[in-house]
A and B are shown apart, each in its own frame.
Chain A
Amino acid sequence: MVVGEIIHEKDVVIIGAGPAGYEAALRAAKNGRDVTLIDRFHLGGECLHKGCIPSKLLATAARKLWEKTPGVTMTPTFSMAQWQEDKTHLINRMEKGLQDRFKSNNIECVKGQASFLSQERIGVEQGEKFEVWSFNHAIIATGSRPSTPTFLTIDHPNIVPLEQLYTLSSLPSHIILFGADYLTIEAASTFRALGVEVTIVTDQEDILLDWDESIRRESKRQFKKQKVSLFTGVSNCKAKEVDLALVFRNVRGESVEVNTKLIAYSIGRKGNGESLGLDQAGIDVQDDWGISISEGCETSRENVYACGDITEGPFSAVKGIKQGKTAADHCCGRKSAYSLECLPKVIHTQTPMSSVGFTEKEAIEAGYEVITASSSMRENGYAMITGNTEGKVVIHRDRESHVLLGFHAIGAGAVELIEKAALAIEMGARDEDFIYPYTPHPGYGEAWTDAVERTVESKVKTKVIQ
């Protein structure tokens, strides 16, 4: 017998304590497995510390600032410094909550840099210490980090990845957001509402390319109204470091220079896979998005799973949480699965946006005969009560089968009501399945029911009584 280094023998070892990793840990523990969760930073990952939670907290603050309530007069003020304090407090409380859940589920938490030593072992560097864990199943959930546009790979304190906007101690007078994704759009909306001048610049032909045309158009209309400048399809971008400015050619080929206080970029993310020793475990790795997995989150290695941002598909905590649970169930012998087909998208802009299912273009490409209808939030009673009459709901359905294909919304209640739409689409609901159930009145949901009703042709047959 050989006794070398001390090996911690564990059943399920999970690398990464973000939403995908911690959901996997909790599920595996619930399934009766002995779990170790390793992370090099804090519990909660990017989502809790840099992404979802801080950005939603700031979006909420911005929205409250403009909230009008009949009969109530007050002039709210906003302090970024105070907000930072409240943010830290909230994050600490949520992290503590996670710790308590791990403790009560007997999940061992290890802080350190993990890497595979073999198909069955993971080494963890913890400062001076190096320890080894062996496992029956490993789950990789190391997440992703922002990519940097090549022309912005400059070491400048005011050129930062977008998530750093949420660490500022005071609000700058002007920011440039380089990007076209949901993070860019959300940040633009939040900071504009907080009084910051915002310019969005992207080399893509348009913003929100993966969204339904109708919603994209409405979002741009709102930005125009809020005086957010938007430059799409730009080229030859360059940053001026002294007197910070972004110089580029606009879509018509004219040279434009925008002076600013801060440039924040969001052009996509890449998986955190490099230091994991994935080759030691014999796991296939792709160029950008890391690891390709099956619908049960299996990698090319039988006993190793992957979930969250390090796997293919959109970068999203929603996806990660689902995959984390799927991976943990699958390695416990359950036939669990996930699919990206009906992944709901949500943006916490001041007028929130959400979407699930096919866009009109996708539905037509898939071969459906699409009927589209919409309902404006201006016609919604509850939106008038709360003073949120911006936006609309857009529905697509198949003409022949009446099956609902896609829900797209920009307007109050969009984030909450998308759950109803996701359920309808997953269940294969047809128009009547959505219309028949009661809709609370007054409520934002009435706009959604209205939109579905409008997809039904109103052909009233008359019968002549003789």
Chain B
Amino acid sequence: MMDVKLHDIGEGMSEGEIVQLLVKPGDHVLVDQPLVEVQTDKVTAELPSPFAGKVETIYVEAGEVIEVGGTLLTISPISQHAEQTLLPNRKKRILAAPFTRKIARENNVDIEEVKGTGPAGRITDEDVFRHLATTQKPEEKETEKAIEKEANERTIPFSTRRKQISAKMKKSTLTIPHVTHFDEVDVTNILEMKKTMKEKNGQSISVAAFYIKAVCVALKEFPIFNSELKEDEGLIYLKPDLHIGLATDTEEGLIVPVIHHCDKHSIIEIHNKMKNLHHAAMNNELTSKNLSESTFTISNAGPLGSTGATPIINYPQVALLAFHKTKKMPVVTENDEIIIRSIMSISMTFDHRIADGGTSMRFTNRFIELIEQPSLLLMELV
């Protein structure tokens, strides 16, 4: 039986409030599975289980304030290796050269079972191979070949970050029937605006800030894409707040920091927040708060490349919009003239349980309209 204690989650905290219990007595938990959600003055965090086992007793309740070091619950761990093979205890010596013994080990042959035909009853290489041929099933050999192949390959750690990404992606794809549609948006006008601002006002604003603003406007009109489906309750919750998650590529993997109440911010504010979050993400300085509560996710793949994708929704959200590369392209105008415009492709993935293609396209059409005629954004000023 082992105690799980409230440890300092890295903010120099002295106590924490139990927000909710995520397990109950009798539950079987895996390593790193969240046990309780704890709120400190700075962050909300889920405490992961240090080991796999069965939850025995829970000492705390939701709402209770616990000091660091206080026992939260006990877990009886599952022994991973019920039978550990210890050193063999032999009386007489096994007569086999170390090289021969290695051949036996590598082929999972217990050298004690091999009959030696060599001088003085010594076990030779051939004796091991003969033993192997007469006792081993063919499929075992295949497995071993595969294992050996694997052993020779270089490995890199499957990091905690990657494990979390893996769990989220798996959950999302297994739950949500994904549909993605692609479209193109003419961003020439926005780029011009950006250029003018820089030249006239000396203000350099990322073009993504404009896109995010436009997404917020469109989401207000299509709240279905800012919702959460609770299948067991039979209800779709339309979220009152608009918190935009920004899929960010870091050295350690994908992470999604959040701009909270994004609709309440000006384009400049969005730009600044985006910059700060990006910096924090790159330097591993994001807090739990920075990473929680997003209601819609944007993936700005553009700077990296790609002209289309089928992104996976940030579960339990309903949709995700990805911006791809902007290219200068020849465009035929209404007057049948060919002109050069900056065109960006976008991919919109949505949960087909909740919305249909028509709604999704109406949503992206509105987004495209706002970007192609930036003056429309003025109409949305509050």
Chain A positions near chain B (C-beta within 8 angstroms): 1-7, 9-11, 32-34, 117-121, 134-136, 279-282, 284, 292-295, 298-302, 312, 332-337, 339-341, 365-368, 401-403, 405, 425-428, 430
Contact = CB atoms under 8 A, between A and B. Distances in A.
Contact of A402 (B120, B164, B168): B120
A430 to B, nearest CB: 6
B51 interface: yes
Contact of B160 (A7, A294, A340): A7
29 contacts: A2-B48, A2-B291, A3-B284, A3-B288, A4-B45, A118-B31, A118-B50, A119-B51, A120-B31, A120-B32, A279-B2, A282-B51, A282-B79, A295-B85, A298-B85, A301-B80, A302-B81, A332-B151, A333-B150, A333-B152, A337-B105, A341-B90, A365-B91, A366-B93, A401-B121, A405-B93, A427-B97, A427-B98, A428-B122
Contacts of B164: 1-2
Interface string B85-97: 1111011110111
Given A294-B84, A333-B147, A334-B151, A134 B160 contact: yes
B284 A6 contact: yes
A427 B155 CA distance: 35
A425 B150 CA distance: 34
A333 B151 contact: yes
Contacts of A426: 97-98
A430 B156 contact: no
Interface in B242-290: 252, 255-256, 284, 286-288, 290
A293 B86 CA distance: 6
A295 B337 CA distance: 80
A430 B120 contact: yes
A403 B101 CA distance: 18
B151 A401 contact: no
Nearest to B120: A401
Minimum-distance CB pairs A-B, first 8: A333-B151, A118-B50, A5-B10, A428-B95, A401-B120, A4-B9, A335-B105, A9-B159
Nearest to A277: B50
Contacts of A279: 2
B68 to A, nearest CB: 12
A136 B157 contact: yes
B286 A3 contact: yes
Nearest to A9: B159
A369 B77 CA distance: 50
A456 to B, nearest CB: 15
B79 A366 contact: no
A119 B84 contact: no
- Choose among B50, B90, B152 the residue with the greatest number of A CB atoms under 10 Å from its CB: B50
B358 interface: no
A4 B52 contact: no
A428 B120 contact: yes
Nearest to B11: A4
Nearest to B53: A282
A299 B80 CA distance: 10
A33 B156 CA distance: 8
B119 interface: yes
A10 B157 contact: yes
A282 B9 contact: no
Nearest to B104: A335
Contacts of B380: none
Nearest to A340: B87
Contact of B9 (A5, A120, A280, A336): A5
B230 interface: no
A300 B151 contact: no
Given A4-B288, A405-B93, 17 more contacts: A1-B164, A3-B287, A6-B10, A7-B160, A119-B50, A119-B52, A120-B32, A136-B158, A280-B51, A282-B77, A294-B85, A294-B87, A337-B105, A366-B93, A427-B97, A427-B98, A430-B120
B232 interface: no
Contact of A300 (B8, B84, B157): B84
Contacts of B168: 1
Interface residues of B, number: 63
Contact of A4 (B10, B121, B158): B10
B353 interface: no
A119 B160 CA distance: 13
Given A136-B157, A282-B51, A403-B120, A2 B81 contact: no
Contacts of B287: 3
Interface in B23-78: 31-32, 34, 45-46, 48-52, 77
Given A292-B86, A426-B97, A136 B119 contact: no
A295 B45 CA distance: 42
A11 B88 CA distance: 30
- Choose among A1, A298, A368 the residue with the greatest number of B CB atoms under 10 Å from its CB: A1
Interface in B300-326: none
B139 interface: no
Contact of B80 (A2, A300, A366): A300
A366 B288 contact: no
B103 to A, nearest CB: 10
Contacts of B77: 282
Nearest to A282: B77
B144 to A, nearest CB: 10
A448 B79 CA distance: 50
B137 interface: no
A301 B84 CA distance: 9
B160 A367 contact: no
A2 B79 contact: no
Given A295-B87, A337-B105, A300 B284 contact: no
Contacts of B121: 401
Nearest to B147: A333
B284 A295 contact: no
Given A5-B10, A333-B151, A340-B87, A34 B2 contact: no
Contact of B157 (A1, A9, A298): A9
Nearest to B81: A300
A10 B155 CA distance: 12
A367 B80 contact: no
B200 interface: no
B46 A2 contact: yes
A355 to B, nearest CB: 16
A402 B159 CA distance: 56
A458 to B, nearest CB: 21
B119 A32 contact: no
Contacts of B98: 426-427
